[in-house]
Structure 1
Amino acid sequence: MTATGERVERVDEQDRVIGVVDRGEAVARQWLHRVATTVCRDAHGRFLVHRRPETVSRFPGCHNWLIGGAVEPGESYERAAARELAEELGVRAPVRPLFRFLCRGAISPYWLGVHEAVVTGGLTPDPAEIDRYAWVTESELWDMAGRRTFVPDGAAALRRHAATAGRPPAPPLP
């Protein structure tokens, strides 16, 4: 989704709503707002990784393992994650909250809600959001996340995911 014209809830350091603003302004002024994402797994436990189109304004041509976008005013993280999953992948699946954290972000800071969904059946990616995709193992995901062409906020969420899952420390990422 494009940031211009989107309305989001501006929030404070404790994720409490303090107003509704334009997302573009929130990013430009470094105001905290909310973003909801989903980690997609298949029946074999592999992770979905996608490449962003070269035409997008943020992280063109980069890879990410998170599907998502801004939480709309009055919307829950979980509902936003499910909506974004349907919009970007054409998938309707239950999303399960994993964790939420204050992400300092490569472009601006925001509260990031990370969810998980098991995806079965075909995908219909929105070409404006997803150039191509692949299912990868956890090892392959870590390898990709260590590259310069991986969205930095996605790499931060991957580190947090490993920590909250009680796994041993993962290899350092840039």
Structure 2
Amino acid sequence: MSELVDRVDEQDRVLAVVDRAEAIREGWLHRVATIVCRDPAGRFLVHRRPRDSSRFPGQYNWLLGGAADVGESYEQAAARELLEELGVRAAPRFVLKFRCAGAISPYWLGLHETVVTTAIRPDPYEVPWHTWLTASELESLAQGPEFVPDGREAFIRYRAVGGGTPGM
């Protein structure tokens, strides 16, 4: 089954509706919504991607999320992805948006965050393993070769705007 997404331009304006696989293959920009999850102690949720995933199999990531559906805002997509992947209902807070070069293809990445105060129920097909790490532990892990490269870029940008500091 194909996944339809909004193809967007360099200013993130919608151009057309396309198949996501085609957007990736052709290098067309589309929208991806991500969520950073923190616990009340400020630690970050980190997970391993499934070993049979077509993208970054078995690698660590600190971002949850995926492509925004046609006509869906970044915020709506982030909330939907959070529910699908962790079973958590929340309204993630927008932090930043940037044009990600992407290790596979370029896209606009909307980064959100939320503090998770309820039990999580990870979808084992999306999040087969997870743990909570401090900011310094995450920073160390993000520098390693087993970390999703796009997640590394997002982490650098997140820290540059003050993400991960008290009050965020």
Please report the TM-score for the alignment, with normalisation by the length of structure 2: 0.95
Measured in 2, the distance between the counterparts of 1:101 and 1:164 equals: 12
Stretches of structure 1 that go unaligned for 5 or more consecutive residues are 168-174
Matches within 5 A, 1:21-40: 21-40=18-37
Percent identity over paired residues = 62
What stretches of structure 2 of length at least 5 have no aligned partner?
none
RMSD: 1.2
How many angstroms apart in 1 are the aligned matches of 2:71 and 2:51?
32
CA contact (8 A) 2:37 2:115 kept: yes
The answer to whether structure 1 residue 81 and structure 2 residue 73 are counterparts is: no
Equivalent in the alignment of 1:113: 110
Counterpart mapping for 1:1-174 below 5 A? 5-165=2-162
TM-score when normalising by structure 1: 0.92
Per-residue deviation, 1:121: 1.8
Distance 1:19 1:164 in 2: 31
The alignment partner of 2:71 has SS state of coil
Post-superposition Cα deviations, 1:63-100, rounded to whole Å, max 9, x if no partner, equal: 00001000011110000000000000111112100000
Quote the residue 1:172 is aligned against: none
Structure 1 stretches of at least 4 aligned residues deviating more than 4 Å after TM superposition: none
Aligned residues: 164
Q: Deviations over 1:27-52 (max 9, x none)?
A: 00000000000000100010000001
